[in-house]
Each structure stands twice: as structure tokens, then as C-alpha cells.
């Protein structure tokens, strides 16, 4: 979402408060973002990544492309980096930017989690 005034951030935080939305900023360490993302995917919490720039971290690719699959036991999983983690069906992922006219790769704009 393009959000120069922070309205989308506030909306997501308020509307997803009961589901315990977790937030990270794009400027946070990659390790912190990765840990928060993995926890949210496992537990089914929504995640908000704020203040993203035009270049997205490649580690977000499996989420943006919805690259989930069923493992040998029939559970829905996703591979993030070297980790294969269970994918909870309640997980939602939102990205916001303050850039008024960003140019993203097609896979970022087509994602719908």
C-alpha cells in the first residue's frame, strides 16, 4: 500500500489488533524481520512491514509469490531461506511505503496474502 500519511498503517494496526498484528520496519535488521515473519507464519498472526523502499529483500520472494506447498505429511509449508516452516492459513502480510510513486517488480504488486 502506498501510505504517505500513515493512514493505512493505522488502519491495519487497529483492524488487526485482535489478531495480534506484528510490525517491523524495513530498516530493521534482516534477522529481526525474518524472525518476526517466521513467527507470524507459524502462529497465523498478521504482519505489517512498514516503510519499504523500492527494492524489496529477496527473502520475501516466497511470501510475495505465495510459494506454499504440501509436505510429505500433507501439511501446508513454505520455504524461507533454508527453513521449511508450517504455514498457518490465518497469516496475512501487508507492506506499506511512504514513497508517493514507487516502482516495484511485478511479483510485488501481484501478491495477495
Domains and CATH numbers, the chain: 7-100 (3.40.50.300)
Distance CA 100, CA 14 (A): 23
Distance CA 100, CA 97 (A): 8
The answer on pLDDT for 107 being more than 70 is no
The answer on pLDDT for 97 being more than 90 is yes
pLDDT at position 76: 96
| pLDDT tens digit sequence for 36-93 | 999 999 999 999 999 999 888 888 999 988 999 999 999 999 999 889 999 999 999 9
The beta strand positions in 3-113, using DSSP E, are 22-25, 47-50, 68-70, 76-80, 83-86, 93-95
How many contiguous H segments (helices) and E segments (strands) does the chain have? Answer: 4, 6
pLDDT at position 71: 93
Distance CA 85, CA 64 (A): 16
Amino acid at each position: 500500500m502506498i501510505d504517505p500519511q500513515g493512514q493505512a498503517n493505522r488502519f491495519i494496526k487497529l483492524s488487526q489488533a485482535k489478531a495480534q498484528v506484528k510490525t517491523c520496519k524495513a530498516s530493521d535488521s534482516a534477522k529481526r524481520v525474518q524472525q518476526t515473519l517466521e513467527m507470524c507464519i507459524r502462529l497465523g498472526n498478521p504482519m505489517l512491514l512498514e516503510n519499504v523502499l523500492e527494492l524489496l529483500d529477496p527473502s520475501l520472494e516466497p511470501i510475495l509469490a505465495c510459494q506454499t506447498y504440501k509436505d510429505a505429511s500433507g501439511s501446508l509449508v513454505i520455504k524461507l531461506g533454508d527453513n521449511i516452516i508450517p504455514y498457518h492459513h490465518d497469516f496475512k502480510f501487508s507492506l506499506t511505503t511512504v514513497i508517493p510513486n514507487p516502482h516495484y517488480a511485478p511479483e510485488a504488486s501481484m501478491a495477495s496474502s
